[in-house]
Amino acid sequence: MTFPKTLRVYLSGGMEFAKGEGADWRRVMEEWVLKNLGHFAYNPNKESDEYLAKKYPTGRFRDLKNEDIEKYTELVRDLIDSDCREIAERSDYVICNWDESAQRGAGTKGELTMARFVRKPVYMVTQMKLQDIPGWVLGCATKTFRTFEDLQEFLHEHYSKEPTHN
Q: What is the CATH number of the domain that holds 110?
A: 3.40.50.280
Range of the domain at 20: 8-43+91-159
Residue 51 lies in a domain: no
Q: Is residue 86 part of a domain?
A: no
Q: 72-126 pLDDT, tens per residue?
A: 999 999 999 999 999 999 999 999 999 999 999 999 999 999 999 999 999 999 9
* φ, ψ dihedrals at 145, nearest 5°: -135, 150
Residue 4 pLDDT level (bands cut at 50, 70, 90): low
Mean pLDDT estimate for the chain: 93
The tally of domains found in the chain comes to 1
Residue 110 domain flag: yes
- Split at pLDDT 50, 70, 90, the class of 59 is confident
What confidence score (pLDDT) does residue 165 get?
A: 46
pTM: 0.91
* In a domain? residue 57: no
> Per the domain annotation, does 65 fall within a domain?
no
Convert 40-74 to b/e letters by CB count within 10 Å (16 or more is b): bbbbbbeebeebbeeebeeeebeebeeeeeeebee
Compute CA distances 144 → 64, 124, 130, whole Å.
35, 5, 9
Domain presence at residue 103: yes
